[in-house]
Amino acid sequence: MKPKYVKQNLVCLAGRLAFIGALVMALTPTYAQSNATNGAGGQKEKIEGFKNTPMLPGGKWHMHDPDRPQPPVVTPGAGFSVGAAPPSDAELLFDGKDLSKWQNENGGDASWKVQDGYMIVSRANGIRTRGKWADFQLHVEFAEPSPATGAGQGRGNSGILINNMYEVQVLDSYNAKTYSDGQAGAVYGQMPPLVNPAKPPGEWQTYDIIWESPRWNDKNELLQKATITVLFNGVVIQHKTELIGSTDGIGGGVAWRAQSFYKPHAPEVFVELQSHNSNPVRFRNIWIRDLNIAERQ
Ligand code: MG
């Protein structure tokens, strides 16, 4: 073969390889592995996550980015808000005995198992409140499966799904890592918790959530983004966090790992407890206070 043809063939081969490589990259939704040095002693630790996802506002991190720093671990104070009785103006949503305040996604009775003062995720679908509130304070207690099973997003995954559009992640994040915008207390896919005050599996943990719904005018122009503040075991982990839009991968119409955006809805929203592959997370002592912000203004 003449050198000219060899060169042409090599160029052609290189082009094909580059094309195949690009195609494989485009079609492979597999986990990227982090090069972050998060492990004890500084050794490299593989953290699940994605680098082929949209950039979040600010342009620093991808959604579900394995390189986004893991929040510092904090040991919470013992017992903060565990077993907290509802204030007089709260509505008790679950007292450990019955699910009458809850329904399935079709409006039928909620059918998760209730036993020994708690409910346990026991169906493929979540359950949601029959009531709706625009802006609220929510107290929820949960316990992760013990002994722990699974890893990453498969380790005791549930969630607080506001209107089935916005998720505060429930996960076993005690000595367990995943992409930081997907760990316990994250606004999933958007904002990791400020710190990680998770308790060991089996222990009762608390979320105290303050939520303000997004608002639109009658032309469906967004007037106000949703904001959320979350205390996790008594530690502030989200502080007036402004949501980018609906959470990816739940019911709000944004596909998993796709760019988040807002879809107009009434300010009154329900609260759903997520069934993530029926991971058997337990819940108890749930109550809510209507903040009546709109009426106060
Ligand atoms: Mg979840």
- Report CA(216)–ligand 1 centroid distance (Å): 27
More confident site: 258 or 35: 258
Q: Which residue has the tokens 């625009």?
A: 134
Q: Identify the DSSP state of 142.
A: E
If residue 27 lies in a helix (H) or strand (E), which one and from where to where?
helix 3-27
- Report CA(156)–ligand 1 centroid distance (Å): 9
Residue type, position 28, single letter: T
Q: Identify the DSSP state of 8.
A: H
Chain segment 101-148, per-residue pLDDT in tens = 999 999 999 999 999 999 999 999 999 999 999 999 999 999 999 999
Provide the pLDDT for residue 12: 44
Average pLDDT over residues 212-234: 97
- Report CA(273)–ligand 1 centroid distance (Å): 9
Provide the pLDDT for residue 7: 45
Q: What are the structure tokens assigned to 245, written together?
A: 């839009």
Average pLDDT over residues 216-236: 98
- Report CA(162)–ligand 1 centroid distance (Å): 12
Provide the pLDDT for residue 250: 95
Q: What are the structure tokens assigned to 181, written together?
A: 């915008």
For the chain, counts of helices (H) and of strands (E): 2, 15
- Report CA(78)–ligand 1 centroid distance (Å): 25
Chain segment 166-196, per-residue pLDDT in tens = 999 999 999 999 999 999 999 999 999 999 9
For the chain, give every domain's residue range: 1-28, 46-296
Cα Rg, the chain, nearest whole Å: 22
Residue 20 in this model has a pLDDT that exceeds 70: no
% residues pLDDT > 70 (the chain): 85
- Report CA(184)–ligand 1 centroid distance (Å): 9
CB 61 within 8 A of CB 244: no
- Report CA(154)–ligand 1 centroid distance (Å): 9
Going by C-alpha positions, the residue among 177, 160, 156 that lies closest to residue 169 is 160
Going by C-alpha positions, the residue among 128, 145, 134, 154 that lies closest to residue 286 is 128
Q: Note the CATH number of domain 46-296.
A: 2.60.120.560
Q: Work out the pLDDT band at 297, boundaries 50, 70, 90.
A: low
pTM for this prediction: 0.86
Q: Which residues pair with 62 in a beta bridge?
A: 55
SS3 content of the chain, % helix, strand, coil (to 5): 15, 30, 60
